[in-house]
Amino acid sequence: MSISSQPEISVNTNPGRRAVSVRKLLEIEGATVFAALILLVAFSSAFAPGFLSPGNLTNVLVQSVFVVILGIGMTFVLVAGGIDLSVGSTMGLAAALTIYSINHAIPVPLAILIGLASGAAVGLFNSYFIMVLKMADFIVTLGTLSLVRGIVELMTANSRLTTQSEAFGFLTGGTILGVPMAVLLAAAVVVGGGLTLAKTAMGRRTYAVGLNAASSYLAGVRVRRVRVGVYVASGTLAALAGILLGSRLSSAHPALGTGYELTAIAAAAIGGTSLAGGRGSVLGTILGALLLGVLQNSLSLLQVNAFWFQIITGLMIVAAVLLDGAIRRMLRARPSQ
Amino acid sequence: MGAETATLENSRQATSTRPPLQGARAMLGRPGAGIFIFLVVLLIVMGFWSPVILGTGNLIGILNQMVFILIPTFGLTLVIIAGGLDLSVGSVLGLTGGIAAYLIAHGTSMPVAFAGAILCGAAIGLVNGLVITRLRVPDFVATLAMLGVVRGALYVWTHAVPIRNYMSKPYFVIGGLRMVLWKVSVPLMVALVLLLILAFILRRTHYGVHLRATGSNPDAAKLSGINPDQVKVVTYIASGVLAAITGILLAGRLTTVHPDMGSGYELNAIAAAVMGGAALSGGRGSFYGALIGAVTLTVIQNAINILNIDPNWEHVIIGAIILFAVLIDRGALALAGRQASAH
C-alpha cells in the first residue's frame, strides 16, 4: 500500500539508481495501473474542459463508488479462485427490497439491513450450490444471475418502486464535511476489505485457497468456510452497491445493476487480479475502477462518441493482463541483486 | 467430484473412437441425456396444461425460433469441449450481421456480402485464439475484452443508427420469414446441416478426438503428439464463423440491424451448452445436447407465451433450470456409471 509515496520522480531525477528503483516500483502490486491512472488524469486535466473542477471530480468519485464496492467483493471471490456473475442482479434485488421495505413503513436503517441481508442470502445460495452440490462457480452464478434478475423483474415490473425518503436519499445525496456520504461508505469498505485481504489470517487463507485448494486443505485451512465467506462478502457488498444506486436514483427499475458484473470483473482484471485465483489486491481493483471511471468521464467531457469507452476498456483489459505477465516474467528472469 | 467423473468418462470415450452401446442405460451417460428426459417430461406436462403447445405448427415454430440461440451454442460447445470459453459471440453476431446488411444495402451481391461477414467472424475468432494461446491471456478475460471491443466497434461504426433497406426476396427466405419447404425455415435447415457436420467431426474424425483430448488434459494431449494450441485456435475460429452465420440469418429475420443485436446471446448460448451436458472444465460436451439445451430454453419462452404466464417469470425459470440441469445431467451420469461398473 506504499503507492502513495509517489515514487515516479525518483526514476527521472536519479538515473544512476534507475534500474533498482524501477524494479522496486514494478514489484509493488498495482504500480502500473497507478501510473496509467496518473497519465490519464494528467491527460484529462490538460485536454478535457472542466475535468479538474471540484464538481466534476466529485461526480467521478460518486460514479465510481458502485464499481469500487462491487470490485472489492469480486476481488475476494477471484482471489479465492471463484467467479461471481450474480452481483449485478443482486444489486437490483437489494435496491428493490430496500425501497419496498421503506415504502411499507419500515425504518430506513432496518430496510437497509434487509437489503444487505438479501445480498448475503444470495451469497449463501451460491456457495451452497458450489460447495455442497459441487457445481462450477461460473454456472451457479450464471443461474443466479438469471434467477435473481427474474425476481427483481417480478418485483418491479408492474409497479415501479420509487421513494421520497430523505434519509434514504442522504446515502448518496448527503455530505459529511463536504465529502459525499457514498464516497465515505466506499472508503470504509476499501479500508476494511483491503486490510482484511492483505493483513489478516483470513486474507492469507483466501490467497491459499485460490492458489491450491487441495494443499491448503491439507495444511489445515477450512476451504469450505473461506469459499462460503467470499461469496457472502461478494453478495453483501453487491447489495450495498445496489442500495447506493437505488438511493441515487430514488427508485428501483427492473434492469437496475444489469451488466455491472462484467464491469466489476474488468476493474479487477485491469487492477492485476488473476482469474485463475491466488493473485490480486483490493488496491489494484480500486485503481482499475477509478481508471474506468475517469476514462468514461473524460470521454464524455471531450464529447467523444461514448461507444469508444467499450473499445478502450476491452483493449485496456488485455493490455493490463499482458503487461502484468511481462513484468512478472522480467522480475523472475532478473532476480534482485 | 462430478467434473472428475466427467473427464474420466470422456478419456474413456476418447481412447475408443466408437464407444460400445450398452442398451438404454448407457445412453444416459451421454451429455445431454438428463436434460432430454427433462424436456420430454416438460413437454408432456405442458401438453396436458394446454394442448396447443404440442400442435405441429407450434412445435415447428419453436424449432424455427430456437435456431438463433442454437448456432452460437454449437460454437460455444466446441470451445467449451476444448476447455475454453467464448463471451464474444453476441457481439460478433451483431457486427457480422451489420456488415452483411450494410454491404447488401450498398449494392454488394449477397454471396460476397455473406462471405465478408463470415470472414470477419473468422478473423475475430482467430484474434481470440491467438491472444489466448500465444499471449497466454485467460479465455474469459480475452473474450470479455473482445465482447466490449466488437460491440463498441459496431456502435462507433454505425453511430448507433440501425441499418435498414437491405431486404430482398431471397433474404426473406434466408431469414426464415418466407418458407420454401412446408413450415421449415432456411435457418432451421442450416442449423440441422451444421449439427450433422459438427456431430460427425466430433465423433468420427481425428480432429474430434484431438478436441476432446485437449479439453480433458492439454498436457497429456501434447505428450501424445497433439498441438493443443492449434486445436484451440480452430475452435475459436469456428465459434466466430458460427456467430457470423447466425448474424447473417438474424439480420434477415429482423429486417433491421440494431447496434445492440445479439447482446446477451453469449449467456443464453453458454446456458444452452451447459444444459446440453457441456462441462466448463473441458473435454465433455455434445452437439445433440446443445440442440436439446436450446430447444428447452425456447420451449420455456414459448410456454410462458401460450400459457399467459407473467413474462417476468422467464428469467426466474431459466435461472432455476440452469442450476438444476447440471444436477439432472449428473444424476443421469451416475445412473449410467452404476450400470457400467455392474458389467
Predicted confidence band of residue A1 (pLDDT cuts 50, 70, 90): very low
- Rounded to an integer, the average pLDDT of A142-152 is 93
- Residue A258, Cα to own-chain centre: how many angstroms? 15
Checking if the pLDDT of B85 tops 70, the result is: yes
Dist. CA B84–CA B91, nearest whole Å:
18
Q: Determine the residue among B91, B131, B144 to mutate to test chain A binding: the one whose Cβ has the most chain A Cβ atoms within 10 Å.
A: B144
Binning pLDDT at 50, 70 and 90, where does residue B251 land? very high
pLDDT at residue A21 in the model: 66
Residues in chain A: 337
User: pLDDT averaged over chain B?
Assistant: 85
Out of A16-20, A249-253, B79-83, B313-317, the most confident range is B79-83
First to last CA, chain A: 23
Model pTM?
0.84
Q: Higher-confidence residue: A76 or B166?
A: A76
Q: Which three cell numbers stand for residue A228?
A: 462460503
DSSP A132: I
CA distance A265 to A262: 5
Which cell goes with A214? 487441495
Q: How far apart are CA A311 and CA B122, in angstroms?
A: 19
Torsion of CA A228, A231, A233, A236, to 10 degrees: -120
Please indicate whether, in this complex, the C-beta atoms of A146 and B2 are within 8 angstroms of each other.
no
Q: B275 is written with which cell numbers?
A: 444444459
- What per-residue confidence (pLDDT) applies to B13? 46
3-class SS shares of chain A: helix, strand, coil, % to 5: 75, 0, 20
CA distance A317 to B144: 9
Q: In which element (H, E) is residue A18 found?
A: helix A18-27
Nearest to B149 by CA among B139, B137, B157: B157
- With contact defined as beta carbons under 8 Å apart, do B139 and B78 qualify? no
Residue A336: per-residue pLDDT: 57
Mean pLDDT of A298-321: 85
Query: Residue B6: which pLDDT band, with cuts at 50, 70 and 90?
Result: very low
Stretch A57-73: mean pLDDT, rounded?
Answer: 92
Amino acid A260: pLDDT = 92
Q: List beta partners, residue A280.
A: none
CA distance B263 to B94: 7
Q: Other CB atoms closer than 10 Å to residue A101's CB: what's the count? A: 19
Is the ipTM reported for this complex over the cut 0.85?
A: no
Check whether B291 has a pLDDT greater than 90.
Answer: yes
Rounded CA gap, B245 and A330, in Å? 43
In a mutational test of the B interface, the residue from A135, A270, A316 whose CB has the highest number of chain B CBs within 10 Å is A135
Measured CB to CB, residues of chain A less than 8 Å from chain B are 83, 129, 133-136, 138-140, 142-151, 153-154, 157, 254, 262, 265-266, 269, 274-276, 305, 307-315, 317-318, 321-322, 325
Does A229 have pLDDT greater than 60? Answer: yes
Instruction: Tell me, rounded to whole angstroms, the distance of Cα B77 from its chain centroid.
Output: 6
pLDDT over threshold 80, residue A306 = no
Chain A residue with Cα closest to B159: A305
Predicted confidence at residue A18, as pLDDT, reads 53
A11 pLDDT exceeds 50? no
Average pLDDT on B245-265 reads 91
Q: Which residue has the higher pLDDT, B119 or B16?
A: B119
Taking residues B85-114, report their average pLDDT. Answer: 93
Mean pLDDT of A176-192: 89
Query: Between A159 and B278, whose confidence is greater?
Result: B278
pLDDT tens, position by position, A91-145: 999 999 999 999 998 998 999 999 999 999 999 999 999 988 888 888 899 999 9
Pick from A308, A138, A70: which is nearest to B138 by CA? A138
Instruction: Read off the pLDDT band of A2 (50, 70, 90).
Output: very low
Within 8 A of A267 by CB-CB distance, chain B residues are: none
- Cα(A188)–Cα(A240) distance, rounded to whole angstroms? 12
Longest CA–CA span in chain A (Å) reads 69
